[in-house]
């Protein structure tokens, strides 16, 4: 029995193979809390919320226990980066730890910004462990209200 040749165009593409592998890993690791493995390296990533209004982009990052003076916020090109370090408290003698779940170490979070953001009009405020960054939009992209005249 002879084997038929299959045209290359009929074979599954690499992207569909990658998608299937991603689904397989998602099913296998689904429900596992893998965040603990990042703490072994000292790296952690604070969670962020990203929202938009008519005139600004708002980024909120949970970074409790960090001195606001130790937070570095920078914009390079179209990327905003938040960096800092949460220092571990000194170990007290005579204390037996049964569990340590709080994260320590340096972190870095980067967010791609849309072209509509004015990098010269950025403000940041730290309150109750939450860093809020307000990025004003450029004037030309803000919506303008047009009134309709009635005749």
List average pLDDT for each run of 10 residues in the chain, which is 151 residues long.
58 70 75 49 78 92 89 92 83 67 82 89 94 91 78 77
Question: In whole angstroms, what separates CA 130 from the centre of its chain?
Answer: 14
pLDDT the model gives residue 36: 47
The CATH number covering residue 79 comes to 2.60.40.790
**Structural domain total, the chain:** 1
In a domain, 33, yes or no: no
8 A C-beta contact, residue 104 and residue 88: yes
In a domain, 132, yes or no: yes
Query: How confident is the model at residue 131, as a pLDDT?
Result: 96
Cα dihedral sign, 85-86-89-91: negative
User: Would you say residue 52 lies in a domain?
Assistant: yes
pLDDT at 43: 63
HEC string of the chain equals CCCCCCCHHHCCCHHHHHHHHHHHHHHHHCCCCCCHHHHCCCCCCCCEEEEECCCEEEEEEECCCCCHHHCEEEEECCEEEEEEEECCCCCCCCCCCCCCCCCCEEEEEEEECCCCEEEEEEEEEEECCEEEEEEEECHHHCCCCCCCCCC
CA pair distance 99, 113, nearest whole angstrom: 39
Does residue 148 fall inside a structural domain? Answer: no
Residue 31 within any structural domain of the chain? no
What the block records as the tokens of 3 is 């084997």
Is residue 133, in this structure, part of any structural domain at all? yes
Q: Is residue 54 part of a domain?
A: yes
Residue 112 burial (CB < 10 Å; 0-12/13-18/19+)?
exposed
Prediction pTM value: 0.62
Is residue 109 situated within a structural domain?
yes
Residue range of the domain that includes 119? 42-88+101-141
Regarding beta strands 105-112 and 48-52, do their DSSP bridges make them parallel or antiparallel, or are they unpaired? unpaired
């Amino acid at each position: 029995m002879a084997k038929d040749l299959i045209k290359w165009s009929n074979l599954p593409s690499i992207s569909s193979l990658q998608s299937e592998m991603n689904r397989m890993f998602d099913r296998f690791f689904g429900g596992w809390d893998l965040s603990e493995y990042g703490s072994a390296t000292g790296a952690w990533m604070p969670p962020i919320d990203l929202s938009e209004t008519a005139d600004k982009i708002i980024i909120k990052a949970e970074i409790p226990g960090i001195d606001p003076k130790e937070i570095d916020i920078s914009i390079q090109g179209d990327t905003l980066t938040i960096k800092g370090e949460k220092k571990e408290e000194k170990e007290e003698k005579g204390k037996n730890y049964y569990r340590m779940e709080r994260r320590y170490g340096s972190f870095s979070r980067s967010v791609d910004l849309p072209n509509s953001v004015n990098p010269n009009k950025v403000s940041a405020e730290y309150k109750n462990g939450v860093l809020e960054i307000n990025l004003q939009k450029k004037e030309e992209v803000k919506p303008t209200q047009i009134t309709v005249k009635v005749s």
